[in-house]
Structure formats: structure tokens, C-alpha cells
């Protein structure tokens, strides 16, 4: 079983919809959880960073962590065409950060 | 806002040649990383560097790869004898502490012909 699993998509949703992106993981040693957004030919850009189980909100973005189920989510409200990108989940253990494959998201105008 | 900068943005080299990819991490950061992303694939960990030494490396980071922090600002990745399969985007990243998120540069696209 891979350490971090993420559906690569693509996921297409209409503008204004709520988007739900998810990752599962197998190693309970992961302590910190991040979501990055990556536009084509650019470096990953940090969106959200969280440690504990529960929800963390920042503007239109909500990150959710469920450590008991080893499951994390990113919700995007009122999605915009500019949100079209690849979204990467990432998890930290020891000195290493492991990334999911990334989900390609298309917001349709 | 301070950022990680990488040069060059694109490097073309012939198979067997040595390349050096350069990075300037954010100035107060202490942990430095290199990641690789082959076109259309996931971001893969190569190596982490702290306190002037490698703290962890992946199976990809074999004897052909080396990293160096030659002065107080630069962080370099050297590939001694490039192979076709080394063609990828190489991202440098840094963070201030062990429990902080990574901040990435915009990458160097390496093309090996």
C-alpha cells in the first residue's frame, strides 16, 4: 500500500460549485498535513497547513483532517476558473514530506 | 514576501554531462530540500539537508547526485553524469523549522538529450 493515495482526476466542476479533494494515508507517523496548488510549469504553492484533527478555514478553503481514519480533505467554496490547477496533498514525518500524486481540477465557466 | 529562487529556469544538456542546479532558499530557513517531478507525474523527494549535512535521501538520490551549500545563501544540486531519464523539473524548497511547511521555488526544467 502506498504511503499517500490521491485520485489524479481530472475533476471537472461548474463555476460556483463546492469542490472536495481527498487523500488517504497509511502511516500513522504523519503529523502535519498540507495542501499545495500547482499551476502548469510552476512550483507548488502552499494553501493550507494543519496539525490536529478537525477543520481549518482560510477564506474559500477549508482543510479537514481525520487522523483516526487517516483521511484528509480540502474543500473549495464558490469555485472560480482561476482555481483550475493541480492540488497536491502532502504529509510530514520526521524530516521528510511526502506528496500525493495530485488531483487535476478544472472549473468550467 | 520572501521566496525561494532557482536558476536557471531551463537547462538543456547532453547525456553524460555534469549539471549544477542552483537555489537560493529563504534567508532565515534552516532546512533545505530538492524534489523532482517528471512530466505528468508526482513530486518526488530527493534529499533533505540540515546543519550542513544530508539528513535524509531517497533511493533516487544515488551516487550521481550531490548537494552542497557552498556559502550562506546558495544550495546546489549536482548531477555528475546525466542520463536521459534525469529529464524532469527539479524543485528546491526550504522551511524555517522541522514542523513548518515547505516553500518551493518555481523549478529548473532539465532536458537531457
Q: What is the pLDDT along chain A (109 residues), one digit of tens a residue?
A: 678 999 888 999 999 999 999 999 998 889 899 999 999 888 999 999 998 888 999 999 999 999 999 999 999 999 999 999 999 999 988 778 899 999 999 999 9
Q: Provide the phi-psi class of B60: left if phi over 0, else alpha when psi is between -120 and 50, else beta.
A: alpha
pLDDT at B2: 75
Residue percentage of chain B with pLDDT more than 90:
86
Q: B16-72: per-residue pLDDT in tens?
A: 999 999 999 999 999 999 999 999 888 999 999 999 999 999 999 999 999 999 887
CB contact under 8 A, A88 and B43: yes
Closest by CA to B61, choosing from B75, B41, B76, B77, is B77
Residue pLDDT, tens place only, B57-105? 999 999 999 999 988 789 999 999 999 999 999 999 999 988 889 999 9
Q: Rounded to a whole number, what is the distance in Å from the CA of B18 to chain A's nearest CA?
A: 23
In terms of phi and psi (left: phi > 0; alpha: psi -120 to 50; beta: otherwise), the region of A10 is: beta
pLDDT for position A96: 80
C-alpha cell at B59: 533511493
Cβ distance B43 to A41 less than 8 Å, yes or no, reads no
The sign of the dihedral angle between the CA atoms of B105, A2, A71, A51 is negative
Kindly determine whether residue A96 and residue B48, on different chains, have CB atoms separated by under 8 Å: yes
CB contact under 8 A, A95 and B91: no
The alpha carbon of residue B72 is apart from the nearest alpha carbon of chain A, in Å, by: 21
Q: Which residue has the cell 483550475?
A: A84
| B102/A97 Cβ within 8 A | yes
Q: Measured in whole angstroms, how far is the alpha carbon of residue B47 from the centre of its chain?
A: 8
CB of A91 within 8 Å of a chain B CB? The answer is no
SS3 A12: strand
Chain A residue numbers with beta carbons less than 8 Å from the beta carbon of B89 are 41
Amino acid at each position: 500500500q502506498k504511503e499517500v493515495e490521491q485520485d489524479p482526476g481530472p475533476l471537472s466542476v461548474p463555476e460556483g460549485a463546492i469542490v472536495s479533494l481527498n487523500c488517504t494515508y497509511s502511516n500513522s507517523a504523519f503529523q502535519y498535513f498540507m495542501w499545495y496548488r500547482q499551476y502548469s510549469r510552476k512550483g507548488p504553492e502552499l494553501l493550507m497547513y494543519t496539525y490536529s484533527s478537525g477543520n481549518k478555514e482560510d477564506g474559500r478553503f477549508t482543510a479537514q483532517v481525520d487522523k483516526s481514519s487517516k483521511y484528509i480533505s480540502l474543500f473549495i467554496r464558490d469555485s472560480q476558473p482561476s482555481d483550475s490547477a493541480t492540488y497536491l496533498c502532502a504529509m510530514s514525518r520526521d524530516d521528510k514530506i511526502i506528496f500525493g500524486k495530485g488531483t487535476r481540477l478544472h472549473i468550467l465557466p | 514576501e520572501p521566496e525561494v529562487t532557482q536558476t536557471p529556469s531551463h537547462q538543456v544538456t547532453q547525456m553524460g554531462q555534469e549539471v549544477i542546479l542552483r537555489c537560493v532558499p529563504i534567508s532565515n530557513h534552516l532546512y533545505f530540500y530538492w524534489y523532482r517531478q517528471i512530466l505528468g507525474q508526482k513530486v518526488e523527494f530527493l534529499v533533505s539537508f540540515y546543519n550542513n549535512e544530508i539528513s535524509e535521501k531517497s533511493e533516487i538520490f544515488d551516487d550521481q547526485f550531490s548537494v552542497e551549500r557552498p556559502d550562506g545563501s546558495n544550495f546546489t544540486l549536482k548531477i555528475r553524469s546525466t542520463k536521459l531519464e534525469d529529464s524532469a523539473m527539479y524543485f528546491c524548497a526550504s522551511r524555517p523549522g522541522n514542523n513548518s511547511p515547505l516553500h518551493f521555488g518555481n523549478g529548473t526544467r532539465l532536458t537531457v538529450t
